[in-house]
Amino acid sequence: MKIVVLVRQTPDTEAQITANSSGNGIDETGIKWILNPFDEFAVEEAVQIKENTGAEVIILGIGPERALETIRTALAMGGDSAIHIKDENFGDTDSYATAKLIAAKIKAIGDVDLILAGKKWIDEESGQVPIQVAAELNIPQATIATKVDIDEAAKSIKVQSEIEGGQRIIELTFPALVTTERGINEPRYASLPGIMKAKKKPLEEVTVDAINLEELGLTAENLGVAGSRYKVDNIDIPVINRSLNVLKGGNSDMVEAGEVQAAAENLTKLLREEAKII
Amino acid sequence: MKPVVLSLIVLFAIAFFLRNVFGFLKIMFQAKRPSFRTDQIFERVKGLIIYVFGQKRILKNYTWAGIEHFMLFWGFMIITIGSTELVILGFVPGFEAFGFLGGEAQEMFLLILDIVQSLVIVALIMGVLNRTVIPSGKRREVNSIDAVVILGMIFGLMITDFGFRASKIALGTEPASWLPVSSMWATFFLSNVNVATAAFSTEFFYWIHVCLLFAFLNYLPYSKHSHVLTVIPNIFFQNLEPRGKMSKIDFENIPDDFEHFGTGKFEDFSWKDVLDAYTCTECGRCTDNCPAWGTEKPLSPRDIVIKLRHFVTENNDKEEMKTEYLPSEGWVTEEELYACTTCSACVEVCPLFIDQMGKIVEMRRFLTMEGKMKGTAVRTLQKLGSHGNPWGFDSKDRAPWTKEEKVPVLGNGGGNTAEDYEVVFWTGCFGAFDPRGQEVAATISRLLKEAGVKFAVMGPNETCTGDPARRLGEEALFQELAMANIETMNRFSVKKIIANCPHCFNSIKNEYPDFGSEVEVVTHSEFLASLVKEGKLSPVKSLDEEITYHDPCYLGRHNRVFDEPREILSAIPGLELKELERSRETSFCCGAGGGKIWMEEEAPRVNWNRFEEIEASGVETVAAACPFCNVMFEDAAKYVGNENVKIKDIAELLEDSLDLPVKNSNFEKLAEDAGDKEQSKENDDSPQV
């Protein structure tokens, strides 16, 4: 079985984001970059499948030079080999073009049974690329998986997702694409020596010049910020004023019954009059 | 005829014994991690005297078993002389061990031997009672068959010696008056026998005794009682390094054929680990004192050591010895290895100086660096790597209280180095970011100011010392953080540090020198105690409270700071210090160490266990001297719904007892704000580490 995991590098969850000087992007100075946390679930799931079935895990990352670090992290978690499609402008390429590039590369790998990716990127809150890859490849997909179950003999996968009021289970036959949600697993730690060791694993680097864009129905103008089908006008960083107001009451063993009622009344009053949200 | 038969027995026994010894040495040196244990010869000999001949750790905390063992040990020492005499007697008729000192010396020896042998029988009965009647209340299994065989053999040796001496008394060749117990035997069993019977009985007991003796010698290496043979080397080669110091992995010179870091296969252990494994008597004191085991976790430090021995028994001379991994489902599980809080209670109580904790953390290293670690600590390590603190806060925001307290921050305004100050106060990540930790750190800064100590903090230039990374097994990250901190300390010419976090303290004191650090570091307990002693801080206000003190593992057991925190508390008028049952060397962990604070813990938790003990002691306040312990107790207090016990740092109690003016009015703060803005801007520009 051959699994491809799509990985993206995103700013650290704790990074303090500021807008850049032109106001339509983020200022990247001093930002720590990490493997997109939802992609981390996808890598972990792939590695667990590998541990159980002996599958081959290929990491596929797209992004500038620095994204290599993230790809190595995924390799250290247990990927067997990696492909890095790199170009300094890919960060601004829209999901349509990105998906086409990825789909083309997956076709080139050949005989891929399963594609795993995070349900969304935490930087742009976008979940478009994986599903567009599935569309490009014309294969079935299931999103936001909290549990997967593989039947190797039948070459199929059962995907469970949380839906309102219950669970949804979809069975897909290979080749298929699945996006992962928090809760599907607990990702392992990619240690520094592990990342160092990952340097020995096969890595294929593809530059944009080496890709025949015409075949994909794209031109060089479709890439980067200029070719994007959407434009970011302005980025605003919200100012958060946190305040804390502790109302007594709560655990019914420890407070008088009347106190709880009083606290509830007080809370309602505050929500209506001060927060003005009810 | 007799010397010939005896020679054959002796030669055969010795040959067999040597075969065992060489077999063992061969196994021992298949473990290849280097371990140098030949320094400090004087200390090593001292260790032998106190712990082998003085039986100090055997006697401590385990009175019944301790006395039993003391009697057995010394009994054995003396009886060995008697047994040797018996063997030589087979070659030299009429030989007397102390004959060369005259007849009286020999008579005295016989008297002592007679009494000691009786005491050994008493000890054996105590041993049987200890294993049967006396309830242990311990949740551990014991290998009884081995114990029965060994105790039975010792019993046999005693009985046959009595039989031999009693027979000789009957023959009239041994002085009855100097052998009171043997005489009783003679009177009881051999009062009316003829010379021939007595002679036969002498020979009979002689041969059984000699055969038993050599059987015993050759059974020992196969039993859990092999410590009789290995205890002297094991204690002589004990670890004399600070216990909290982990070994440095050299990442600079990695061989090309390298497979992994840490201890994964048998060859990754050290020869001393193997000697430890063959010295373990399975007494279980380590496990009795283990906080993980005590709270129903799967880890039993004793079993880790036993498993190493069983691994050899099963795989010796097979391919598996080289290929199989010990941290694996079949041997030592991940759950066991990640349950350790590195509190070192096991190492502290082991009468044979076995290093259980060292084996656990070395195997944990293997797991983590092979990418086996999962759960919440994954994020912690990622944040340590990206932000230099466990939460991923921006290092610009470290220790905001320094503004309020007007504490100088090194690097502010350029040229501001540690040379302008007496000491640097190392706040640690808790003092920098945790709300409770910040309160404690601010308190310490006020105390230092009050005592007139010229000090500064490193502020944004400080990062985590790497302690949790190292103990969780991520050695490369630890080294990265350690080297960054050492570089910063050198840049600011830091010479002396006060640390209130015992984990930071331990790393800087014991581990940083391996990376070129020469900085001196003291704990806040020691520093504040000396300020009190010198009269620079005078606790005058009476606090009228019943209080107890919890010994943090990395302050007490690991670094032997037991007295200073107590000195501070006893200097405070009105405080009545009540010791917990588990205190000082046998203090019970709060559950946070070894990076465990960053992992989810199954119920019942270690901190609940300890806090329940504190609550049950009936005190009003528990004093701690470690931010980790503080947090763990706050957490436990919430769980048990505690409203009675206050949790304080020793520094806070000390401040409460000083006669100080009202601290930090808001008015003062507002007045400072304008100046602070300037300062914080410079802060932003300071180099990030």
Domains and CATH numbers, chain B: 44-236 (no CATH), 266-298+313-369 (1.10.1060.10), 391-533 (3.40.50), 545-657 (3.40.50.10700)
pLDDT at A255 over 60: no
Task: Clarify whether residues A31 and A137 are in a common domain.
Answer: yes
- Give domain status of residue A237, yes or no: no
Which residue on chain A is closest to B377 by alpha carbon? A189
Q: What is the pLDDT of residue B176?
A: 83
Kindly list the residues from chain A whose CB atom is less than 8 angstroms away from the CB atom of residue B382.
34, 189
In chain A, residues with a C-beta closer than 8 Å to the C-beta of B377 are 189
What pLDDT digit, counting tens, does each position of A22-75 carry?
888 888 888 889 999 999 999 999 999 999 999 999 999 998 999 999 999 999
Across the range B160-179, mean pLDDT stands at 89
Closest A-chain CA to B370: A194
- Across B294-336, the runs of DSSP E, i.e. the strands, are none
Q: Where are the alpha helices (DSSP H) in A165-235?
A: 192-198, 224-227
Which residue matches tokens 């983590």?
B368
Q: 3-state class of B117 per DSSP?
A: helix
Chain B environment of A187 (Cβ under 8 Å): 374, 378
Segment B90-102 shows an average pLDDT of 88
Give yes or no: residues A257 and A130 share one domain.
no
Decide if A191 and B474 are in contact by the 8 Å CB cutoff: yes
Same domain flag for A95 and A192: yes
Q: Is the pLDDT of residue B425 over 80?
A: yes
Is A100 domain-assigned?
yes
Q: What is the pLDDT of residue B679?
A: 43
More confident residue, A134 or A21: A134
- Helix, strand, or coil (residue B293): helix
For B188, how many CA atoms within 13 A lie in the half-sphere containing its CB?
Answer: 9
Interacting residues of B621 by C-beta distance below 8 A, sequence separation 6+ = B545, B546, B547, B548, B645, B646, B647, B648, B653
| The pLDDT of residue B642 | 80
Measured in angstroms, the CA of A178 and the nearest CA of chain B are apart by 22
Same domain, A182 and A270: no
Q: Is B39 within 8 Å of B240 (Cβ atoms)?
A: yes
Look at residue A184 and tell me if it is in a domain: yes
Cβ separation of B371 and A187 shorter than 8 Å? no
Which position has the token pair 């509830």? A264
Residue that is written with structure tokens 């054996």 in the block: B124
DSSP conformation class of A5: E
Give the pLDDT confidence score for residue B629 in this predicted structure: 96
One-letter-per-residue 3-state SS of B145-206: HHHHHHHHHHHHHHHHHHHHHHHHHHHCCCCHHHCHHHHHHHHHHCCCCCHHHHHHHHHHHH
- Smallest CA–CA distance, residue A78 to chain B, in Å, is 8
Residue A200 inside a domain? The answer is yes
Same domain for A254 and A222: no
Q: What pLDDT shows up at residue B680?
A: 42
B652 CA to centre of own chain: 30
Residues forming a β-bridge with B534: none
What residues in B contact A186, CB-CB < 8 Å? 374-375, 378
Which residue has better confidence, B677 or A111? A111
Contact B296, B332 (CB under 8 A): no
Does residue A235 lie in a domain region? Answer: no
B382 vs A30: CB contact, 8 Å cut-off? no
Q: List, for residues B353-368, the tens digit of each pLDDT value.
A: 999 999 999 999 999 9
Give the gap in angstroms from C-alpha B263 to the nearest C-alpha of chain A. 14
Yes or no, beta carbons of B374 and A189 under 8 Å apart: yes
pLDDT digits (tens, 9 = 90+) for B39-50: 999 999 999 999
Per cent of chain B over pLDDT 70 is: 94
Chain B partners within 8 Å of A79 (Cβ): none
Pairing of strands A141-151, A156-163: antiparallel
pLDDT at residue A213, as a whole number: 82
* Tokens 């050492």 -> residue: B486
CB–CB contact A14 B477 (8 Å):
no
Looking at the predicted structure, is the pLDDT value of residue B575 above 90? Answer: yes
- Distance from the Cα of B257 to chain A's closest Cα (Å) equals 12
CA gap B419, B411 in Å, rounded: 12
Residue B394 with chain A: CB contacts under 8 Å: 14, 16
Q: Determine the distance in angstroms separating the CA of B393 from the nearest CA of chain A, rounded to an integer.
A: 7
Query: Mean pLDDT over residues B602-608, rounded?
Result: 93
pLDDT at residue B683 tops 50: no
- Candidate from B66-70, B183-187, B320-324 with smallest mean pLDDT: B183-187
Domain membership flag for residue A249 = yes
Cβ contact, residue pair B375, A186, below 8 Å: yes
Q: Who among A32, A194, A253 is closest to B370 (CB)?
A: A194
What b-and-e string marks burial along B92-111, b requiring 16 or more CB atoms within 10 Å of the CB?
Answer: eeeebbbeeeeeeebbebbb
Secondary structure of B501-546 as H, E, C letters: CHHHHHHHHHHHHHHCCCCEEEEHHHHHHHHHHCCCCCCCCCCCEE
Q: How close, in Å, is residue B602 to chain A by CA atoms?
A: 16
**Are the C-beta atoms of B620 and B493 separated by less than 8 Å?**
no
A81 & A173 share domain = yes
Q: Looking at beta carbons, which residues of chain A come within 8 Å of B391?
A: 14
Residue A157 domain flag: yes
Mean pLDDT in residue range A207-232: 81
The contact set of B with A (CB < 8 A) is 251, 261, 368-375, 377-378, 381-383, 385-387, 391-394, 473-477, 480, 641, 688
pLDDT recorded at residue B684: 42
Q: Which residue in chain A has the smallest CA separation from B479? A: A192
Domain of residue A255: give its range: 243-278
A145 and A265: one domain? no
Contacts of B412 (CB under 8 A, 6+ apart): B459, B679, B682, B683, B686
* CA contacts within 13 A on the Cβ side of B447: 32
**Alpha-carbon span B527 to B564, nearest angstrom:** 9
Q: What is the pLDDT of residue B428?
A: 96
| Least-confidence region, from A117-126, B176-185, B419-428, B586-595 | B176-185
| Contact between B133 and B197 (Cβ < 8 Å) | no
Q: Which of B591, B377, B333 shows the shortest CA–CA distance to B473?
A: B377
Q: Are residues A215 and A274 in the same domain?
A: no
Q: Over 90: is that where the pLDDT of B257 sits?
A: no
Is the ipTM value over 0.95, yes or no? no
Classify strands A9-11 and B496-499 as parallel, antiparallel or unpaired: unpaired
Q: Are residues A176 and A253 in the same domain?
A: no
| For testing contact with chain B, the best of A18, A40, A191, A199 (most B CBs within 10 A) | A191
B392:A14 CB<8 A = yes
> First vs last Cα of chain B: how many Å apart?
83
Q: Contact B327/B370 with Cβ under 8 angstroms?
A: no
Q: Which of A16, A30, A78 sits opposite B371 (nearest CB)?
A: A78
* Residue numbers in A near B381 (CB within 8 A): 189, 191
pLDDT at A251: 54
Are residues A214 and A260 located together in one domain of the fold? no
Identify residues of A whose CB sits under 8 angstroms from chain B CBs. Answer: 12-14, 16, 30, 32, 34, 76-78, 186-194, 196, 251, 253-254
Instruction: Tell me which chain B residue has its CA closest to the CA of residue A35.
Output: B382
Distance from CA of B374 to the nearest CA of A (A): 4
Look at residue B50 in the predicted model and tell me its pLDDT. Answer: 95
CATH number at residue A9: 3.40.50.620
State chain B's mean pLDDT as an integer: 90
pLDDT value, residue A173: 96
Amino acid present at B441: A
Average pLDDT value over all residues in chain A: 89
CB contact under 8 A, A190 and B374: no
pLDDT at A93: 83
Say whether A193 and B369 touch across the interface (CB within 8 A). yes
Is the CB of B641 less than 8 angstroms away from the CB of A192?
no
Residues of B in contact with A194 (CB under 8 A): 369-371
Q: Classify residue A13 by its DSSP letter.
A: T
Nearest-CB residue to B378 (from A78, A188, A196)? A188
Mean pLDDT of B127-134: 78
* Cβ atoms of residues B387 and B395 within 8 Å: yes
Q: B384 contacts in A (CB within 8 Å)?
A: none
What is the side-by-side strand order in the sheet with B646-649?
A: B575-577, B545-549, B621-624, B646-649
Give the pLDDT score at A256: 62
Percent of chain B with pLDDT over 90: 71
Asked whether the beta carbons of B411 and B492 are under 8 A apart, the reply is: yes
Give the pLDDT confidence score for residue B232 in this predicted structure. Answer: 95
Q: What is the 3-state secondary structure (H, E, C) of B577-609?
A: ECCCCCCHHHCCCCCCCCCHHHCCCCCCCHHHH
Of B368, B391, B688, the CB nearest to A191: B368
| Residue A60 sits in the same domain as residue A129 | yes
Phi and psi for B229 in degrees, rounded to 5?
Answer: -90, -30
Give how many domains chain A has, as a whole number. 2
**CA-based nearest distance B572→chain A, Å:** 35
| pLDDT confidence tier of residue B600, bands split at 50, 70 and 90 | very high
Listed range (B56-70, B524-538, B591-605) with the worst mean pLDDT: B56-70
Q: What is the pLDDT of residues B258-268, one digit of tens each?
A: 789 999 999 99
pLDDT of residue B688 exceeding 50, the answer is no
pLDDT tens-place string over residues B365-409: 999 999 899 999 999 999 999 889 999 898 888 999 999 999 999
φ, ψ for residue B101, nearest 5 deg: -95, 5
- Note whether A68 and A205 are same-domain residues: yes
pLDDT for the residue numbered B563: 97
Q: Which residue of A has its CA nearest to B388?
A: A32
Task: Give the residue among B330, B358, B333, B332 at the shortest CA–CA distance from B346.
Answer: B358
Report strand pairing: A2-7 vs A56-63. Answer: parallel
Residue A236 lies in a domain: no
